Amino acid sequence: MPVSSQRIAADVGGTFTDLAVFDESGARLRLGKTLTTPAEPVHGIAQGTERAQGRFDQAAYFLHGSTVAINLLLERKGARTALVTTSGFRDVYEIGRINRPDAYNLFFRKHRPLIERALRFEVDERCGAQGEVVIPLEVATLEPIALQMEREGIEAVAILFLHSYRNPAHELAAKQFFSARLPGVFVTASHELSQEYREFERTSTVAANAYVGAGVSRYIEGIDRHLTAAGFPGRFLIVQSTGGLFASNRARSECVRMLESGPAAGVIGTRALCEAIGLDRAIAFDMGGTTAKAGIVIDGRVQTANTVMVGGYAEGLPVQVPMIDIQEVGTGGGSIARLNAGGGIRVGPHSAGAQPGPVCYGAGGLEPTVTDANLILGRLDASRFLGGEMPLDAAAARAAMADKIATPLGLSIEQAAEGIVRIATAAMAHVVKRVTTERGLDARDFTMVAYGGAGPLHAVLVARELAVARVIIPAAPGHFSAIGMLMSDLRRDAVRTVFVRLGTTAATSPFDLFDQVFAEMEAEGRAELALADVDIEYGADMRYVGQEHAVEVTLPVALFRERDLAAIKARFDQAHLQRYGYASQAERAEVVSLRCAISARMSKPLFEHIEAGAERPAAQAFRGERPVWFSPGGYVLTPAYQREALLADNRIDGPALIEEHASTTVLPPGSRLTVDNLGNLLIDVVAA
């Protein structure tokens, strides 16, 4: 174990790179923020680390979350990829589930595979559903495929053989052959990623892993080289989509496990905040420069998903690995506002990113963005953005808004800017509904924890749209996902498909099989983490007999030790009721898959208490007044406060602005803010 005491966490987003440095010896937390450098992301990491006074040569851990994998997938900028599959099954990837979410939509488009049909190759081999070899694999038959791949300039190979989750021998042999035969080509096999059934989902998962694998591997290698050159003596860990940490060398081969690594860290940070302040239910709302994301925490547990449709349900591709259930929309501070063919305003999903960025950055941006709209409305101070390090050009923002939006629509510049903010708000409210209403939950039962550089700007507006009563803005919201990484633990998730109907007698008890499968998954997890002191969580995917799709059910380990089938069935009934609005105690149930999460706790920074004050903020917190546009009244003279000077028990009635280095909180008229003893801003959306 390294003797160094620093832990450095870096969250690389589409617009900004956020750094958090935790010094365990002095229990201090330092923060840094810089524009992301897309061409060489490691440069932005190095700059942010320097601003946070971090030293790689004094760090025990470097924790990293990035949007690199998801961006390669969504932007279709991955490697030229080939698929090798069982004879007769190459079109499974294109046929999919034949879902048609909108039956009467004449413009509906089905999912578009990442791998074209000409690059999907079939092999004569076959294993049965129980893993028995039906047709042996002749490795020599792979040579013509390898020759064709060389001619096609293939950069990555995905291998999917039927029922390999039961018997991976053929996939292992094929991977060994292609890795040796095609040096420099990224090769991945489906059983390494998913031990569940469903051929289409498994094909899509391994195809996505291969498609992003070469780029992600190079990305991680670049960071590795920088760390080595900087004298880094510690461990380089990546945040998984589950919010747990895993080794960078594993991330290089199992890239799809880090699709949501940055957003997942924010949800983990929300869970830690809920524990610190005793909050039972929270919506984690993250709005950055490129996207807005939402996740859910209930009773200290982060809500997860087994399969995620990357790109949306209608046209997306499934990825079958455990993830935090995070929904996102292409609406961030840098999202571009344009007029569509019908003359309406469309906000996003295209983003100005870090280069050139919004018009007001003065770096060459020509189209107005959400950030430009907020500057025009007075909600951002042009001279104090990023603590004054990055002055904004309000005149350029107004000129672009007039030229592109206001004049064509016959609106004032302020009306156009407000329209952009309202459209963005509606889109972000919808993404919150996707993790609440569409999951059988009522958003009104939750408190919203808002973070990201742009989250506090819009949080109260989004909460009003959803009738959410309270919003919490944590300390340092612009760095919250990076801080969340410091709250993460080492983690290994394992899943095994096991079809078992829950019997009612001892003769039909499935617990011997359950014990065997859980023991295997635990052993794998302990071996990977290489630590004796671990936490273990069990779960199962269950359904009523005769159903097609299953519901994930979290199950206490004690239920399996006590062999309590009735309690397991009752937990499933409750989960089904919450998700679909009905359940049946009389119907028999079955287990489809077993799940096991092994985690090893890491020390974490504490949320620091702040000094108590009076109800009225101290004079030094007041930063003057300026006109801010609020609907429907127009400009209102609005006080601004410096967040760092606010004390516990301070109370502020809207309208008001609370400014800090990396964010601004907008408190509209009719809302009330109270500061708690941890420095969180507790906002009653509608003041009593």
CA atoms within 13 A on the CB side of 290: 21
Tell me which of 63-72, 449-458, 479-488 is least confident.
Answer: 63-72
pLDDT at 270 (0 to 100): 97
Alpha-carbon 64 to chain mean position: 13
Evaluate the CA torsion angle 24, 286, 327, 77 in order and state its sign.
negative
Mean pLDDT across the stretch 662-669?
Answer: 95
Which of the four pLDDT bands, split at 50, 70 and 90, describes residue 67? confident
Distances 472 to 200, 371, 409, 639, 682 between C-alpha atoms, Å: 41, 22, 36, 20, 5
Contact 231, 57 (CB under 8 A): yes
Q: Which of 579, 628, 610, 578 shows the shortest CA–CA distance to 678?
A: 610
618 touches 652 (CB < 8 A) = no
Rounded to whole angstroms, the Cα distance separating 346 from 222 reads 37
Q: Residue 351 — very low, low, confident or very high, per pLDDT cuts 50/70/90?
A: confident
Q: How far is CA 327 from CA 283, 303, 309, 578, 618, in A?
A: 12, 12, 10, 19, 40
Averaged over 560-588, what is the pLDDT? Answer: 92
pLDDT: which is higher, 3 or 433: 433
**Angle between helix 455-466 and 413-435 (nearest 10):** 70
Which helix (H) or strand (E) is 450 found in, with range? strand 447-451
Angstrom CA distances, 411 to 369, 407, 427, stand at 17, 6, 22
DSSP 158-180: EEE-TTTTT--HHHHHHHHHHHH
Kindly report the number of other CB atoms within 10 A of residue 392's CB atom: 22
pLDDT score of 422 more than 50: yes
Q: How many CB atoms lie within 10 A of CB 280?
A: 12
Helices of type H across 447-561: 455-466, 480-485, 511-529, 557-561
Say what the pLDDT of residue 35 is: 85
Of 522, 518, 575, the residue nearest 552 (C-alpha): 575
Q: If DSSP codes are grouped into helix, strand and coil, which group holds residue 100?
A: coil
Please give the backbone phi and psi of residue 510, each rounded to the nearest 5 degrees, phi first. -95, 5
- Identify the band that residue 504 occupies on the pLDDT scale cut at 50, 70 and 90: low
Instruction: Please state the length of the chain.
Output: 688
Q: 580-592 b/e with 16+ CB inside 10 Å = b?
A: eeebeeeeebbbb
Q: Which residues contact 619 (CB under 8 A, 6 or more apart)?
A: none
Q: Which of 646, 641, 654 is nearest to 680 (CA)?
A: 646
Most confident of 90-104, 137-151, 298-312: 137-151
* H or E element that contains 105: none
Helical (H) or strand (E) element with 126 = strand 126-127
The reported pTM is: 0.90
Beta partners for 81?
A: 156
Q: Give yes or no for a contact between 354 and 37, defined as CB atoms under 8 angstroms apart.
A: yes
Could you give the 3-state DSSP secondary structure of residue 183? coil
Q: How confident is the prediction for the chain on average, in pLDDT?
A: 91
Other CB atoms closer than 10 Å to residue 452's CB: what's the count? 32
DSSP one-letter code for 445 = G
- pLDDT digit string, tens, across residues 315-342: 678 899 999 999 888 888 989 999 988 8
Beta bridge partners of 66: 12
Q: What is the pLDDT of residues 511-568, one digit of tens each?
A: 999 999 999 999 988 888 877 688 899 999 999 999 988 999 999 999 998 999 999 9
Work out the average pLDDT over 45-72: 90
pLDDT reported for residue 2: 44
CATH code, 6-73+218-258: 3.30.420.40
pLDDT bucket at 430, cuts 50 / 70 / 90: very high
**DSSP per-residue codes, 251-299:** HHH-GGGGTTHHHHHHHHHHHHHHHHHT-SEEEEEEE-SS-EEEEEEET
CA nearest 158: which of 194, 205, 210? 210
The number of CA neighbours under 13 Å toward the Cβ of 500 is: 21
Domain range summary for the chain, segments of one domain joined by +? 6-73+218-258, 75-213, 262-488+617-688, 490-600
* pLDDT at residue 1 in the model: 40
Give CA–CA dist 679/644, Å, rounded: 9
pLDDT tens-digit map of 164-210: 999 999 999 999 999 999 999 999 999 999 999 999 999 999 999 99
- What pLDDT is attached to residue 298? 94
- How many helical (H) and strand (E) elements, i.e. helices and strands, does the chain have? 17, 35
Q: What's residue 227's pLDDT? A: 93
Q: Is the preceding peptide bond at 655 cis, omega within 30 degrees of 0?
A: yes
As given in the structure block, the two tokens for residue 391 are: 């002055």
What's domain 490-600's architecture?
2-Layer Sandwich (3.30)
Neighbours of 655 (CB within 10 A): 18
Question: How many Cα atoms sit within 13 Å of 686 on the Cβ side?
Answer: 7
Name the residue among 152, 141, 147 with its Cα closest to residue 117. 152
- pLDDT score, position 302: 93
In this model, does residue 622 exceed pLDDT 90? yes
Alpha carbon distances (Å) from 365 to 72, 393, 668: 23, 11, 29
Token pair, residue 642, equals 């410096």
Asked if the peptide bond before residue 632 counts as cis, ω within 30 degrees of 0, the response is: yes
| Distance in angstroms (rounded) separating the CA atoms of residues 163 and 168 | 8
Average the pLDDT over each of 11-15, 81-85, 104-108, 595-599 and give the range with the smallest value. 104-108
Confidence (pLDDT) at 405? 95
Of 141-150, 506-515, 519-528, the range with the lowest mean pLDDT is 506-515
pLDDT tens digits, 206-238: 999 999 999 999 999 999 999 999 999 999 999
Mean pLDDT of 406-425: 95
